[in-house]
Amino acid sequence: MSSTTFEDIFAFTREALWDVPGGMNESTALAHDLQVAGLDGKEFMEKYAARFGVSLVGFDWVEYFDPEGTSPVGLLSYIYERLIRRTPARELVEEPEITLGHLVKCANSGAWESPAQDRITSRSTRSRAKTRAPG
C-alpha cells in the first residue's frame, strides 16, 4: 500500500478546484485560502474521498463550509470587522479549517478525523486580550 503525499493532494486539489497565486502548501485551507464554500465543499470532499479511499463517516460538510450565501446582517458584520476594526479575514472564520496537510493525514489513515481546534481557541484568546488592552 503506497502512502498519499502532499504532492498527490496538491495535484488533486488543483485539478478539482484551482491553484492560488503563490501556490499551495500543507497549511492551505480549503474554505479560507481557496474560498471553497457550501455545496462546492461537499462535492470536493466526496471526490476526495472517492479518489483516496477515505471514509467520511462523521463528516458534516456544513460544519466546515457553511451553506452558500449569507444574511444581510452577517454581511454588514463582516464588512464592519474587516474595514472598520481591520480584523484579518482568517480571524473571522468561525468554522474549523480543513487544510491540505489534514487531507494527507486522513488519506493515509483511510478515515475522516476532525481537524484540531487550536486555531479557533487561540483566536478567541487573542480577541479577549484585545478587549482588555487599553485603547
pLDDT, one tens digit per residue, over 33-90 is 888 888 899 999 999 999 999 999 998 888 888 765 555 666 676 667 667 777 766 5
Question: What is the DSSP secondary structure assignment for residue 103, as one 8-state letter?
Answer: H
pLDDT band at 3 (very low <50, low <70, confident <90, very high): very high
Residue 114: partners with Cβ closer than 8 Å, 6 or more residues away: 58, 96
Query: What share of the chain in percent tops pLDDT 90?
Result: 36
pLDDT higher than threshold 90 for residue 101: yes
How many CB atoms are closer than 10 A to CB 22? 8
